[in-house]
Structures are given as structure tokens and as C-alpha cells.
Amino acid sequence: MENGRIYLDQEGLKDLEKEIELLKQKLAEVNKGRKEAFDAGAGDGWDSPEFEEIERESFRLEKEIQRRINDLSKVVLVSKNDSESLIDIGDVLNIDMKFEDEDVEDMTFKLVGLSKGKNAEGIEEVSINSPLGKAVYHKEVGDTVSYTVHNNLIEVLIKAKVNLDKEDVIKR
């Protein structure tokens, strides 16, 4: 996030909206037993451990829902360009990550709006809003970029874009 902005493509926005709906459903589910748990207490509900747990979980979910709704106001929609060399959302990249201790790690990942870990193809997803995502976004194949995490400088060589449909690699 740059200046509080959250960069997402249309799919990432739909995922965020779906996340909010799932949290709302979970809140409704948690609150189903609220009246019974309150009645089990000595008149005010607070003598019931079940009621107290429902209150805590409801509060946590309400805060998370509000946080995600606030995130919606920060969303900047990005669309994909079709440049073969410019790195964009949805691209699968092969990079070398060089850490301060000269350790180099080869990594392949897909640049996405909201990361879900690994996608259906088993490829790691990296959010465009993460330090790595921000470092490579709109750069070109062959570029070396860097970013800092916990005062550790990490250099990234963008080696290639991988076209999963054609099963080939686009190199510069």
C-alpha cells in the first residue's frame, strides 16, 4: 500500500467483497446463540461464559468487518496491460532474490491483488501491495530492484515472465 492505497484488479476487489460477506455470515452464526447464552447468566448475561465468549468473538468480527470495509475506500483498481516485458498484475514471474548475506533464492510466483497463498496451479501468490509486489510492479524483465523488510535489504533480479497457457518463458 502506497499512501494508504490498496491496488487490486477486478478479481481482487471481488475477493475482498466476498471476504466481507463471509465475515458477516460468520458474525450472524456466532450471534445465533446470544439470547440463550444471555438467559443462562444470572439476569445480566455476564455470569455466562458462553455469553462472554460470544461477546468477544462478535466484537472481534465486527472490528474485522469494519477494517475490511474501510479497505474498500482505499482500493485503486488496476487493469492489466499486455506488454511482454512490463510486469503487471496477474503475471507469473521467475526471480532471483539476493539477501544481504549473499544468499540467493530462486522463486516463481504470481503477482495478484489479494494473496491466497498458493493458487490452483500450486504457484505461490504475492500481493501487489506487499514489499516484493511493490518492488516488481511495472518493472521490466531483466531489471534488478530492491526492497527492505525489517532493516534487511533484498535485491531482486526479474529473470522472466512465465506464460502458463503456452508453458513457455518470456525472457529479455
| pLDDT at residue 117 in the model | 67
Q: Residue 158: beta bridge partners?
A: 95
Listed in order, the ranges of the chain carrying CATH 1.10.287 are: 6-77
Strands 104-112 and 92-98: antiparallel
Q: What is the CATH number of domain 92-171?
A: 3.10.50
Rounded average pLDDT per 10-residue block, the chain, 172 residues: 75 90 94 77 66 89 95 87 80 89 87 73 86 92 91 91 63 45
Cell of 115: 494473496
Span(s) in the chain for CATH 3.10.50: 92-171
Q: Give the pLDDT score at 25.
A: 96
pLDDT of residue 156: 93
> For position 44, what pLDDT does the model report?
57
**Looking at residue 1, what is its pLDDT?**
42
pTM of the model: 0.67
pLDDT at 146: 92
Residue 6 to residue 134: CA distance in whole angstroms: 11
CATH fold of 6-77 reads: Helix Hairpins (1.10.287)
- The pLDDT assigned to 170 comes to 44
Q: How far apart are CA 129 and CA 32, in angstroms?
A: 36
